[in-house]
Amino acid sequence: MKCNFLSSYEGKTILVTGATGLIGQNLISHLLQSIPNVRVIAVSRSYYKLKTIFADFLTLGNIKLVEHDVIRPFDFLQEKVDFIFHAAGSQERRVVIKQPLDVIESNIYGVTNLLEYLRGQQDVAGHKGRLVLFSSVTVYGSSNSESDWVVQESESKSFGLLSDEMAPYSESKRMSEVVSHAYARSYGVDVVICRLSTVYGFNLIPTETAFFEFIDKAIKGEVITIRDRFSPRRDNIYIDDAISGLLACGAKGLCSEVYNVSSFGKKGNFLSVAEIAELVTRVSNEICQTDKSSVEYGNDTARERGGVLLDNRRLESLGWKVKTSYQEGVRLVVEKYLASSTLTDP
């Protein structure tokens, strides 16, 4: 994955929260493999996952593993940090529904603690760092019309019910942006906000999402059952493109500016859950040289609804472009899963 923004990170100290998640894991691996003299502080609640995932990098001496929950302050750190990429926080539907307060605490307390760390570093040591906040497409709400809905960064009105079962995630993401803007205005803390569309890619620790369920079933030659054939399309982006977009924002983004990190539907990345399942089974069957995996549909009576497309022209103005088609991305993920074994907690 080539990126024109890497020179901004040479010789810098970069803290990454959520280091064992899909984005955090791939971001750290890319930083360590591609940037000279970089130092990474990888933060996760599980030291076991940290040391297992990054075992091959530990002998390099430029990665520090830190077991820490972002809901607690970072006042124990002694390093002067140049960049913080805040990837911590669960978004799995099951977790949001069953543990909503944990999700809220992680999103709001997490960003506040990181901003406080940068504020203290700035005031005490005179060293100014930058927070790259990972926000979400969910802050835009969802469309109830049959037409697709294109959203720009300025269209941040909320259309979701506060009583919705996924509101703890979407509304706490919105509030994390509000807190970030407040710190920038009140204390001059340097923040750039990235609203990510649906990111997919290989992860040693798969999350409980439809995409990973499809990959797992397809590789095993099982049937994928889809209840809603007419689920709205969503704006997907492959992990490598998401990382290069995040690095572009960190390097060249304006303070307090918001950037949609998305494909804008280019290269076939605007697909519904049903279309994703069909593509995953087709690619997997081709790679595995079988026809065992297939997609079945329930008795679906739902009407077709429009999807949400994130306008990424502001990000493109930094010199970034999406490169990976959805079919190519799925092929890469399937091949990596076939060549690897995934991790679980001990």
Q: pLDDT digit string (tens) for 54-79?
A: 999 999 889 999 999 999 999 999 89
Instruction: Please state which CATH class domain 10-339 belongs to.
Output: alpha beta
Tally of CB atoms within 10 A around 273: 20
Q: Give me the amino acid identity at 2.
A: K
First to last CA, the chain: 32
The average pLDDT across 282-287 equals 94
User: Where does residue 154 rank: exposed (0-12), middle (13-18), buried (19+ CB within 10 A)?
Assistant: exposed
Kindly state the percentage of the chain with pLDDT values over 70: 94
Tens of pLDDT, residues 215-241: 999 999 999 998 877 788 999 999 999
Q: Where do the domains of the chain lie?
A: 10-339
Tell how strand 270-271 and strand 234-238 pair up.
antiparallel
Q: Which residues contact 263 (CB under 8 A, 6 or more apart)?
A: 197, 235, 236, 237, 241, 269, 270, 312, 322
Binned at pLDDT 50, 70 and 90, residue 346 comes out as very low
Largest CA-CA distance found in the chain, in angstroms, rounded? 63
Strand partners, 260: 195
Nearest to 130 by CA among 86, 90, 70: 86
Q: Enter the pTM of the model.
A: 0.94
pLDDT at position 342, please?
58
